[in-house]
Structure 1
Amino acid sequence: MSRLARIFSFGGPDDGPYRLRRLIGMSLGLIYLFYPVAEVIDGRVGTAQAVWRMVALAAFVSVYLTVVLGPRGLGHRPRWIFPLLALATLMGAAFPLVFHSESWLTLPVYLAVVYAMALPPRRAVLGIGAMAALLIADGLVIGAEDGLLWMLVLQTATLGVLFMSVRNTRVLIGKLKEAQSEVARLAAAEERLRIARDLHDLLGHGLSLIVLKSELARRLAEQGSPKAAGEVADIEAVARQALLQVREAVTGYRRSSLPEEIDGARAALAAAGIALTARTSGAPLPEDLDGLFGWAVREATTNVVRHARATRCEITVSYGERGAVLEVADNGRGGPYRPGNGLTGLGERARAAGGDLEVESGGRGFRVRIRVAPPPDLTRPPTPEIAADRLAE
């Protein structure tokens, strides 16, 4: 791809749409060039002069847009941008004198915008002041009207300060995105450390107990004691319990419930600058659904922190005669849905519980919904005998 094609490329995930908006905004600002164009259109200059003026104007506009739409966004200019900036400054200083026309005094105004967008704040202020001084000098040489001259000076200062603010806003937004990415990375690292700590505690305790009982069972077996079989049975029970606890630690079930996972999600989302709203309705969830929904909240909110770039997230839980429903939705960028290991595993667990997983992704965000059908004893009204038993209890 050529250098010019890369400059005007809009294919990047973040900078491309912003660069397109810059192109539209800067193109609208070119309306100030109506005055030098009008001199050519209304025939105030000869044919040769008209050609030279249009060539000069096209050259200035090309250099101006190339500098403004430089690749990689604000604050990351390649070195070849600065020679173009010097060339644009030379054009802005020379063309009003060469063509000896007040209409060309608008060029320093554009240069003030370029300096404001391309340079750090202190240098940008110096550049804007230099363009105001250049405008006054050119205006005095060509004998421009005082009213027009001071109006252009005021516009130079005003637009320069305005676009400095725009540039600073873009820089702050970029830093905020970097901070959110760092928060997501730290959250993922903290989750890995949590699992590592749980596994260390579980395996350290369980394996130590297995080693001790294995040594005892070996000594009893060497002595021919019938108690060896009991110790072996204890080893099997300890191993099964340790395996179960390891699985619970990896899947996030261990010492956690849906309310705890919602509290953890609120803390993680708040750290990423995302507001959480949680709503629950209906009867309390049974233990198996509480574990499933807790794991789903952990997986869904982790995806929100890592990928959504959202500002708001909503968790809705309901349980009643129509079954149990969990919904986690955000207002971030949805994009095409590509199922990963987390959501694939979540779908398998939902189906194992008799439910299903629904995922919606679009321009308004990302939505994860789990529906589980109600158990028969919840949908069927209790018989008088059952009601009496429950009343007696």
Structure 2
Amino acid sequence: MKAFPAFPLLTSGGTDESPSRLRRLAGISIGLVYLCFPVLEIVTGEVTGDRALWGGAGLAVFVCLYTATVLSPRNFGDPTPLTYWLLGATTLLGVGLAVALGGGWLTLPIYMTVVYSMALRPRLSVAGVLAMVVTVVLVGLLRGNDPGGTLVLVFQVLTLGALFMGVRNTRMLVVRLRQAQEEVARLAASEERLRIARDLHDLLGHSLSLIVLKSELAGRLAENGSERAVAEIRDIESVARQALVEVRDAVTGYRQRGLSGELDGARAALEAAGTRATIRLAGTPPPGTLDELLGWAVREGVTNVVRHARATRCEIEVTVGGEAATLDIVDDGRGAAPYGPGSGLTGLTERVRAAGGTVSAGPRETGFALRVSVPLPSASRSG
């Protein structure tokens, strides 16, 4: 009794069915080389007569069924009913030929071991491999084969079964990793769209409010024949151009909004709205990311004052020191202004919370107050 090194490579993977089938076909083309052992038994005359005729026909049918089983559409470990039918027919034919002819035909159950390992769920794969072990042992005993050769075949069934189950599990992990990467990319794109939407809301809300106010002022001045109308129109043009630049920068993701620049813009917007602005700064300059966040807070708070408060006075105070940076924006306008969830304060709150800070906003006896408090980085505290 001879031991035959059958290594029918079965590859499957990827998310596209067409290239996956091509890889499977290439794999089984290599593995089918080892069918030369039963073919040689027919060619050399070890199997003759009707047994050779039926054996050759059975081997040809086995190859067709085996190829169809490998190429049948399926997901990992989730065969279709067609695959189960093909598996059953291939198993019956392969085991039948091994029982009837013995010798080199015992390579056929080894081929089935690989199919089970790659196509079935783990428990069914293990059951199929053990079934082929039993088949090889029983056929070896039935045909009176050499115990040493039978033991080698059993070892091949077990090792190939374990090998290809490992290959299958590895490919499953690769597919799941690709799916996870696609999901991460989708979420990142969704988050980026949300970021751009928030940026555009904040940018255009502030700039357009200022343009509306200056346009109304320019209209009144023009009706009165005042020369200041020309200056206001030029301011409108300047604000519009700046808004366009900021929108472009926001879309490309490179815009940097500093606190000092936002305070200057806030003063201009409040004055255009007829609101007296008082701005106070205390402490050291905030670090880069915190400077940008406080700039966002100033922009959002002042935009709401201009839009809703109808205030005559607005105080902005920024304090950086100790363990936190604090921004307070207080106006004397309508305290019951509609600062609902749909306003930009929701986006500001999300940003501040992400930095570990807090936002409080609400009406006072006269006016409205917004407070933003963000903890300073440890390096800034020690400095």
| Bucket of the pairwise TM-score, normalised by the shorter protein | 0.5 to 0.7
1: CA distance between counterparts of 2:26 and 2:224? 90
2:79 maps to: 77
Larger radius of gyration: 2
Instruction: Name which structure has the greater RCO, CA cutoff 8 Å, separation 6+.
Output: 2
1:81-108 deviation line (CA, Å, top 9, x unaligned): 1101011111122222333x23222221
Note the C-alpha offset of 1:72. Answer: 5.3
- How far the C-alpha of 1:229 sits from its partner, in A, is 3.0
Q: CA deviation at 1:140?
A: 2.1
* Cα separation, 1, equivalents of 2:225 and 2:47: 119
**Partner AA of 1:27 in structure 2:** S
- The one-letter amino acid paired with 2:132 is M
Deviation of 1:16 (Å): 4.3
Residue type of the alignment partner of 1:128 = V
Q: Which of 83, 89, 92 is the aligned partner of 2:91?
A: 89
Which residue does the alignment assign to 2:4?
A: none
SS at match of 2:110: helix
User: Deviation digits for residues 200-238 of structure 1, max 9, x if unmatched?
Assistant: 121011001111222223333444444333222222221
Question: Could you tell me which residue of structure 2 aligns to residue 345 of structure 1?
Answer: none
The one-letter code sitting in structure 2 at the alignment partner of 1:158 is T
Aligned to 1:60: 62
Pick one of 45, 48, 51 that aligns with 2:47: 45
CA RMSD of aligned residues (A): 2.6
Q: Deviations over 1:238-266 (max 9, x none)?
A: 1222122223323444239xxxxxxxxxx
Aligned to 1:244: 245
Q: Distance in 2 between matches of 1:147 and 1:254?
A: 76
Distance 2:100 2:256 in 1: 80
Contact preservation (8 Å) 2:78, 2:121: no
Whole-Å Cα distance in 1 between the matches of residues 189 and 32 of structure 2? Answer: 47
In 1, distance between residues paired with 2:37 and 2:253? Answer: 68
Please say if residues 72 and 82 of structure 2, whose CA atoms lie closer than 8 Å, have aligned partners that are also in contact. no
Report matched runs for 1:135-284 at 5 Å. 135-255=136-256
Q: Supply the distance in 2 between the matched residues of 1:128 and 1:13 (Cα, whole angstroms).
A: 27
Q: Show the counterpart of 2:36.
A: 34
In 1: Cα distance, 2:256 partner to 2:236 partner: 24
> How far does the alpha carbon of each residue in 1:315-371 deviate from its partner, in whole angstroms, 9 at most, with x for none?
xxxxxxxxxxxxxxxxxxxxxxxxxxxxxxxxxxxxxxxxxxxxxxxxxxxxxxxxx
Looking at structure 2, the residues matched to 91 and 128 of structure 1 have their Cα atoms a distance apart, in angstroms, of: 17
Give me the whole-angstrom Cα distance separating, in 1, the residues matched to 2:218 and 2:234: 10
Q: Return 227-236 or 55-64, whichever deviates more.
A: 227-236
Letter in 2 for 1:244: V
Retained in 2: the 8 A contact 1:15–1:73?
A: no
AA partner of residue 52 (structure 2): A
**Counterpart residue type for residue 67 of structure 1:** T
Amino acid across the alignment from 1:64: Y
Distance in 1, matches of 2:151 and 2:175, equals: 36
The structural deviation recorded for 1:134 is 1.9
Post-superposition offset of 1:118: 0.4
Question: 1:286 is matched with which residue?
Answer: none
Measure, in 2, the Cα distance between the counterparts of 1:85 and 1:159: 18
What SS is found at the alignment partner of 1:144?
Answer: coil
Measured in 1, the distance between the counterparts of 2:78 and 2:127 equals: 20
Partner Cα separation in structure 1 for residue 175 and residue 185 of structure 2: 16
Separation of aligned partners in 2, 1:108 and 1:13: 29
Aligned to 1:24: 26
Q: TM-score, normalised by structure 1?
A: 0.57
Note if contact 1:121-1:164 (Cα within 8 Å) is conserved in structure 2: yes
CA distance in 2, matches of 1:157, 1:250: 58
The answer to whether the Cα contact below 8 Å between 2:77 and 2:122 also exists between their aligned partners in 1 is no
Return 5+ residue gaps in structure 1 as ranges.
1-9, 257-393
Instruction: Name the CA distance, whole Å, in 2 between partners of 1:36 and 1:227.
Output: 102
Partners of 2:136 and 2:46 lie apart in 1 by 23
2:98 and 2:109 in contact (8 A); partners too: no
8 A Cα contact 1:92 1:107, kept in partner: yes
Q: Give the residue type in structure 1 aligned to 2:111.
A: Y
State whether residues 19 and 73 of structure 1, in contact with CA within 8 Å, keep that contact through their aligned partners in structure 2. no
The percentage of counterpart residues that share the same residue type is 55
